[in-house]
Structure 1
Amino acid sequence: MALLLACHHNISPNAIDNTLSTSSLPVATRVVKHALGETIIPVKPQRIIVLNDIGLLDPVLSLGVKPIGTVSYFPQYDFLFRGVTNDEAAGIEIIGTGNQPNIERVIKLKPDLILMREYQKSFYNQLSAIAPTVVVDLPGLNYSFKENLRFIAQVLGESEKAEEVISEYYERVRKLQNLMGDRLQKIEVSVINLFSESVIATYSENETYNQVFQDLGIRLIPKLANQQQQTLVSSIEVLNKYDADILFVMNLSGNQDAALSFLQSPLLSTLNAAQTNRVYEVQQNRWWTYGFLGINKLLDDLFKYLTY
């Protein structure tokens, strides 16, 4: 809680001169506190690089700000980013992967602000020598996708826009609740992730889609609601423990054949969700998200699957 409160009071309003600008005019700046210290940044950065897709690119785009550079993940998939379509990211230069950003390309883009995640801290000294660099520490924000957006919005001077985005999200939540009516209180849902055709994983309530279910008032099955581990990997043999009124299946393996094999599994066919035709395969680039572009795609799916 202390860390969450700190995130709302971490920017000093004092403006000072620095040498970030290539012009002779001074640049108004402010101080941002983050996971690795304090950084002086421009009040209105114009050339922003973000080094993560779900936690940084999506929220920044959600605020109506287009970065000049970003990273991509998972070359085995036919999409570049999670939560963000290729069209939504059009014109943004890809400068490597999240685990290995290309420092030379970062230098060539001449950023005035770099946003990164704490797991990338081994690059922090190199990056902060190029431009002001701020670490967005998701665990420090209690894994809340709303607080993540608010922190980034404070850094970019877009706090009012962040509240608009969050308000629009809640409007969609209320609309879905109204469409579901009494069924909202009656159903239980389950989400499993395929690592392979015989290995599944489940995630704790911190996972974004579980946060959305909580906002909607939709119950997870008790086994998921009470899961203590952030990630629990299991054999498909325990699939029956994850039965629910509605079962969502997300393929994280990158192998569509694995998903097809799983969906045709005799073990799956014994589940109540399968027998009532309420097993839905959902896409990683729509559900594995931490920003509001992706969350709105997730809500699109829930409107499709829950309002029957």
Structure 2
Amino acid sequence: MSETSARLLSLLSLLQARRDWPGALLADRLEVSARTVRRDVDRLRDLGYPVRAIKGPDGGYRLDAGAELPPLLFDDDQAIAVAVALQTATTTVTGIEEGALRALATVRQVMPARLRQRVDALQVTTIDRYPNRRTTVDSNQLIAIGMAVRAQEVLRFDYQSPGAPEGEWLPPRKAEPHHLVTWGGRWYLIGWDLDRKDWRTFRVDRMTPKTPTGPRFTPRELPAADVATYISRQFKTKEQFPCRGEAVLQVPASEVAPWSGQDTMVEEVTATSCRVTMTAWSWVGLAARFAMFECDLELVGPPELIEAAHQIATRFQESPR
């Protein structure tokens, strides 16, 4: 690749990365003179890219959006990133498999032969950790919710609550939408529920957004350091394994917490007792996990856990001595 072509790729990449660029800053980033930047901008315009000059004390440039651009030019790192992203997109979003494959084919066609060879060599095999839990989400729903998040507008939506009688009419929910996230093959919306006055996590496949949206709001502070921390806390003891139970241990929480796993939640009840929530693949396995604590305990439930504990006790009582 010639020096000029490489510099044009770098210039185009910079213009796409932010809205406005002072001319002097572009020259500094590209390590060229301001005159060379002007010539390179003219070359991009000749290729069909709508680069607009910005008036002001320093002057600058902006790549206008919404115009019909010629095929994007990719450097090596961008080409690899696009190929990986499109090949792995279907592990987080269902219903876009065909679109992702067509997008990858389109991007591949506009690449030079050298980059096509590199992309073809990068065949990624994706393994879905939760293949039985993935749900199809309408892209229009995602767009509607995403626009409300970005505009900071109250979202009204119908919601199919689990366990609600079929055909029962429920009033639309109202929430301040804050973040769209994916977790375990599903899409979720984190928002402040205006009716319940608390943070809630809604499954997007159960939502039907309604128009128009509500008034604008000032975003509240998420009750966690970041989105990842918040969502992992929400599903820490709910989603990893099918069986979930609770017990009250007659031992301080400080003595249990250091030995708890990622799927264990420890809550202090008194200075000498704590409530422990754990999960497992089976109820017998979960009962056995609670039995490992060398202290008095009371199983809170559910009934399946208590029944499994009786099964284990009977099995030991009947074993040969």
TM-score, normalised by the number of residues in structure 2:
0.26
Whose RCO is larger (CA < 8 A, sep 6+)?
A: 1
TM-score, normalised by the number of residues in structure 1:
0.27
